[in-house]
Amino acid sequence: MTAPQRTTAIAAACLAVSMSACVLLLRNIDRIRPRATIEDALYISSPKMVKRASLGFDGLMACIYWTRTVQYFGHRHFDNARTYNELAPLLEITTTLDPHLVPAYEFGASFLAPKPPGGAGEPERAIRLMKYGIEHNPDNWHLYYDLGFVYYMELKDYPSAAAVFESGSKVPDAHPFMKIMAAQMAAHAGDFSTARMLWSATYESSKESIIRQNALEHLRALKVDEDVTNLEAAVADFAAREGNPPVSMSELVMAEHLPGFPVDPDGNPYQLTLDGQIQVWNPDDFPFITKGTPPGYNPPPPKFHTQN
């Protein structure tokens, strides 16, 4: 081996060894370094400052901040976190950088509004975000729909929801169901049928698989909530008539002339507890249900079902 060849071989070996060592060390450093310090840091919190620092390339910066928002929410959600301190500021920066970035409003509201662990539990900030979005994109009826949705689902503010749906229905090319929504809000605001209509409309009108899966999951949860409500009413009727709750589901089905043995959307039978409560077979399969869970139940992060 000549001297230059030897040098080449040694340098190549050093390069390979050093590179491997760097990778191994970084993996070790990542393990010992606390993750939260990285995720929770928002080095520049002023949207205007970030916009100025982008030197006019604010469109790309908005995409970067939106991706960061998605990653932040995803990580926190995956960790079953109860707080999302940086979510609203990240969304604010994203939409200040690019006020026409519609996905940031649509998804952002659905990240902000729901109660933890499904979301940040900040419906007021979601509403502020959506209003800012409508202000800059007044011809986008989807934003009115999403705002009405937050009013309806999270705040149960039915008059505001009706007013927003009504405003959205006047936008050119708005989907006809906006008018129906406005009317439905006014007449049957708190009904299961109205909620089902909203989630069905979300499912039908969106092309995004994540939104469709989320809507599907809520439709399944609504079915459970409605079933449990009806079954508990039947138990109450039985108890009022007989003086004590039924001892089994079979007894309830026979006494109340229910149309068959009640099952949840997965086909599993509902459970009747000794104190007359109705529970689902496995509440983890229905992350958005508000009824039919055991006392003190803490829901896991939602897992989505893909089939209809």
Partner 1 sequence: MSPRIVYIAFNTFREAVRDRVLYNLIAFALLLSGAAIFVGQISIDIERLVVVNLGLTAVSLFGIVIAIFIGIGLVSKEIDKRTLYTVLSRPVRRWEFIVGKFLGLAGTLVVNTFFMAIGVFGALLYVAHKFSKPDALILVALYFIVLEFLIICSLALLFSSFSSPLLSAVFAFSLFVIGSFADDLRGFATLTHGITRWVATAAAYLVPNFSALNVISAAAHQQPMGSHLILQNTLYALFYTVMALSGAVLIFERRNLK
Instruction: Name the site residues for partner 1 (rule: CB under 8 A).
Output: 52, 55-60, 62-63, 66-67, 70-71, 98, 100-101, 103, 106-107, 208, 210
For partner 1, the closer CB: 45 or 71: 71
Least distance in angstroms from the C-beta of 208 to partner 1:
6
CA atoms within 13 A on the CB side of 48: 0
Asked if 262 contacts 80 with a C-beta cutoff of 8 angstroms, the reply is no
Task: Describe the crossing of helices 141-153 and 158-169 by its angle, rounded to 10 degrees.
Answer: 170
Least distance in angstroms from the C-beta of 73 to partner 1:
10
For partner 1, the closer CB: 93 or 161: 93
- Which residues are CB-contacts of 125 (< 8 A; sequence separation ≥ 6)? 88, 112
Least distance in angstroms from the C-beta of 142 to partner 1:
12
Least distance in angstroms from the C-beta of 84 to partner 1:
16
For partner 1, the closer CB: 68 or 175: 68
Sign of the CA dihedral with 92 first, then 218, 138, and 164 last:
negative
- Which residues are CB-contacts of 65 (< 8 A; sequence separation ≥ 6)? 50, 90, 93, 94, 97
For partner 1, the closer CB: 104 or 231: 104
Least distance in angstroms from the C-beta of 140 to partner 1:
11
For partner 1, the closer CB: 112 or 235: 112
Task: Give dist(CA 109, CA 12) in Å, integer.
Answer: 52
Q: What Å distances lie between residue 286 and 81, 189, 299, 307, CA to CA?
A: 19, 23, 9, 14
For partner 1, the closer CB: 50 or 162: 50
Choose among 84, 61, 63: nearest CA to 74.
Answer: 84
Least distance in angstroms from the C-beta of 54 to partner 1:
9
Task: Give dist(CA 170, CA 180) in Å, integer.
Answer: 12
